[in-house]
Amino acid sequence: MKTTSTLAAVALAGALMAAPQARATTLLNLIDPPDQTDTVYSLSFTALGPATTVSVGGYQLLDFEQTTNIGVFLNNAGANLLGAAWTLTPAAPWFTDTYTYDDGTSVPALVFASSAAGAYDTYSQTFATTSGQSYSLNFLYSNDVFGGGPAPSGLLVTETATTSVPEPSTWMLMLLGAAGLGFLGRHKTKQSPTANA
């Protein structure tokens, strides 16, 4: 009975690991950046699967920071792959102080403030990509610091790839699971109905 449950567990693990995997990569992590206006950022990444999620999170305690003219482009050219709708994940209901606005482009600008250091409100968008292709995330960054001095603030930009092709270790687990299920099926058919009598 123990062998049966072990093999079933291996088969289940193989099936679960065959599902699409997500890998997050930090593209930019600014902590307490200085006062600035419309600093140009162009962050490159290589797609690892059929879909990629870009996330932009921020906080600013004294005033606000913002990203405008946001776009993702294949080979840093062509049409903007981002749409007009961001998904917001708030840091916490009582810390959230963020909003979007129309900056004249097809993708709304993001504005961040906060009442707690490290309380990142995060906006995300998912778009179709081609594995192995190079993409660029471009935007202008402004950090308005009240009085011009340093302010507790941060901007975190990540890219999360959804990979559809299982890794070699996943293939091995799937093969072991399939072999285990085959063994179980064969073992049960060889048992005699009177074996338990």
Residue 124, SS3 per DSSP: strand
Question: Regarding predicted confidence, which is higher, 182 or 136?
Answer: 136
Kindly state the percentage of the chain with pLDDT values over 90.
Answer: 57
The mean pLDDT value for 30-52 works out to 95
pLDDT at 20 over 90: no
Confidence of residue 185 (pLDDT cuts 50, 70, 90): low
Q: How far is CA 71 from CA 33, 37, 57, 194, in A?
A: 22, 18, 16, 70
The structure's pTM equals 0.73
- Does residue 173 have a pLDDT over 70? no
Q: What is the pLDDT of residues 61-102, one digit of tens each?
A: 988 999 999 999 999 999 999 999 999 999 987 778 899 999
Residue 55 clears pLDDT 50, i.e. is over it: yes
Within 8 A by CB and 6+ apart from 170, the residues are 14, 17, 18
pLDDT exceeds 80 at position 17: no
Question: What are 141-165's pLDDT values in tens digits?
Answer: 999 877 666 789 999 999 998 765 5
Answer positive or negative: Cα dihedral of 3, 8, 11, 17: negative
Least confident piece of the model among 45-59, 71-85, 170-184: 170-184
DSSP structure class, residue 75? T
The strand pair at 87-89 and 121-128 is best described as: antiparallel
Q: For the chain, what's the residue count?
A: 197
Give how far the C-alpha of residue 57 lies from the chain's centroid of Cα atoms, to the nearest Å.
Answer: 12
pLDDT in tens, 111-132: 999 888 899 999 999 999 999 9
Q: What is the pLDDT of residue 16?
A: 47
Which band of pLDDT confidence, cut at 50, 70 and 90, is reported for residue 180? low
Amino acid found at 143:
N
Q: What confidence score (pLDDT) does residue 181 get?
A: 58
pLDDT of 169 above 90: no
pLDDT of residue 65: 95
Whether the pLDDT of residue 136 is over 90: the answer is: yes
| Rounded Cα gap, residues 80 and 73, in angstroms | 5
Q: ∠ CA 25-30-31 to the nearest 5 degrees?
A: 125
